[in-house]
Amino acid sequence: MANVVKKHSISSELAQKMVDAAVAKAREIGVTENVAILDDGGNLKAFSRMDGAPILSIEMAQNKAYTALFGVSTQDFFNFIQGDPSLLAGIPTLARVAAWGGGFPIKVNGENCRGDRVERGAHGAERRRLRKSSPGARTRGGAERVIRARP
């Protein structure tokens, strides 16, 4: 049908598995996280706030997830806009857009699902260890990771 668009989206079951895996890894490395998975419309699909995770970072985690709907990690997004003064000034004024690291797009069978997994709370070496050991993650030039979900 010419008037129908096919899109990919993860199931709520897979979204919860991704949250559980991120929480387990955060516990393993001794950090607290807020983990958010959004659907392709930017709506919350799965979420967890670990005990001790900052309350203010609940919204930050969801905003990073929303920003990853652009199809790139939020760190890559920041790297893109930082060289353009008009983008660097304008992007922060947009609701729900977060231009700092921690948001990652989800890909299924190589196609962007427009969902996201976010780690929030780990910093520096802890965040690098979390990304390096994320289940299902693949490296992109040593920078952020793209999550590859298996249907």
3-state helix/strand/coil string of 33-48 = CEEEEECCCCCEEEEE
Quick one: pLDDT at residue 1?
66
Look up residue 45 and give its two tokens: 């699909």
Neighbours of 112 (CB within 10 A): 18
Indicate the length of the chain as a whole number. 151
- Whole-angstrom distance, CA of residue 27 vs CA of residue 81: 33
| pTM value > 0.85 | no
Place of tokens 């699902």: 113
Does 133 score more than 50 pLDDT? no
In this predicted structure, the answer to whether residue 148 has a pLDDT above a threshold of 60 is: no
Q: Answer whether residue 67 shows pLDDT above 70.
A: yes
Burial class (CB in 10 A: 0-12, 13-18, 19+), 150: exposed
Identify which of 80, 38, 88, 30 has the alpha carbon closest to the alpha carbon of residue 59.
38
pLDDT of residue 30: 94
Q: Residue 118: its pLDDT value, please?
A: 52
What's the CA gap between 97 and 62, in Å, rounded?
9
Label residues 70-91 b or e (16+ Cβ within 10 Å = b): bebbbbbbbeebeeeeeeeeeb
Average pLDDT of the residues of the chain:
77
Q: Which residue has the tokens 């709506």?
A: 43
